[in-house]
Amino acid sequence: MAATRPVPREIEGRFIRLAPLEEQHLPALFRAIGTPAVFAAGYGGGPAGYRSTEAGFIEFAHGYYAWLTGNVYGVWRDDELIGTSTLGDFDEKNEHTHIGWTAYAPSTWGTAVNPEAKLLLLSEAFDHGFNRVKLQADALNDRSRAAIQKLGAQFEGVLRRTNPRADGTWRDTAVYSILVDEWPGVRAGLEERLARFA
């Protein structure tokens, strides 16, 4: 099967649903993730990337999310927007894609939200013919790195000095991936984790 970029759509899970993020959702997203705790470990360029006002956050969102090159999703629990994640950097020829730009309301950390969001996005990628899904984090972001490893992704290494953080220092990027051959085991692990929340 040739890899093809999925058409953005609503994706239902047991605990959450993913729906394409739109301009009118940004104020609610600010209420969910517009907090220093989300940016503290490296999200959005780190603490200096944090915007304390709704207008500032919306300006940040316009420049940060992969609106043109990715499928940007809002993560919803019931009727509340609680975060965002993106399936992007589509390389159909080489069958690679990337899950990233992920942040959730701190009240959801350690719940079913992240494992189910990743299960839904990984399923979307592999069901559309992609054979490698990359996940990455600032090398200093221990929480994100631990969450990626807990998914079952394989650590590939650290790329040095990849891009500047919001404070002008340079970020090293820890890169992980999941290959299509590994997907059945990763999927089973995620489903087992989610069963504990049922």
Residue 68: per-residue pLDDT: 93
Mean pLDDT, rounded, of the chain = 97
Taking CA 148 as the corner, what is the angle to CA 44 and CA 174, rounded to the nearest 5 degrees?
65
Does residue 55 lie within any of the structural domains? Answer: yes
Does residue 137 lie within any of the structural domains? Answer: yes
The yes-or-no verdict on residue 55 having pLDDT over 90 is: yes
The yes-or-no verdict on residue 193 having pLDDT over 90 is: yes
Backbone torsions φ then ψ of 14, nearest 5 degrees: -80, -35
The CATH number of whichever domain residue 165 belongs to comes to: 3.40.630.30
User: 72: which residues sit within 8 A by CB, 6+ positions away?
Assistant: 8, 20, 21, 65, 66, 84, 86, 88, 101
Does residue 19 lie within any of the structural domains? Answer: yes
Does residue 4 lie within any of the structural domains? Answer: no
Does residue 65 lie within any of the structural domains? Answer: yes
Q: Which tokens sit at 89?
A: 């950097």
Taking CA 164 as the corner, what is the angle to CA 163 and CA 170, rounded to the nearest 5 degrees?
90
Contact 105, 76 (CB under 8 A): no
Distance CA 64, CA 125 (A): 22
Does residue 90 lie within any of the structural domains? Answer: yes
E-strand ranges in 68-147 read 70-77, 80-91, 96-104, 132-138
Q: What percent of the chain has pLDDT over 70?
A: 100
Q: Which tokens sit at 56?
A: 């500032």
Residue 1: per-residue pLDDT: 79
CA-based nearest residue to 158, from 141, 184, 139 = 139
Domains of the chain: total: 1
The yes-or-no verdict on residue 198 having pLDDT over 90 is: no
Contact 139, 15 (CB under 8 A): no
Does residue 155 lie within any of the structural domains? Answer: yes
Does residue 6 lie within any of the structural domains? Answer: no
pLDDT digits (tens, 9 = 90+) for 102-113: 999 999 999 999
The yes-or-no verdict on residue 76 having pLDDT over 90 is: yes
pLDDT digits (tens, 9 = 90+) for 82-136: 999 999 999 999 999 999 999 999 999 999 999 999 999 999 999 999 999 999 9
Rg (CA), the chain: 16
What average pLDDT score do residues 21-44 get? 96
Residue 41: per-residue pLDDT: 82
pLDDT digits (tens, 9 = 90+) for 134-170: 999 999 999 999 999 999 999 999 999 999 999 999 9
- Domain extent for 92: 11-195
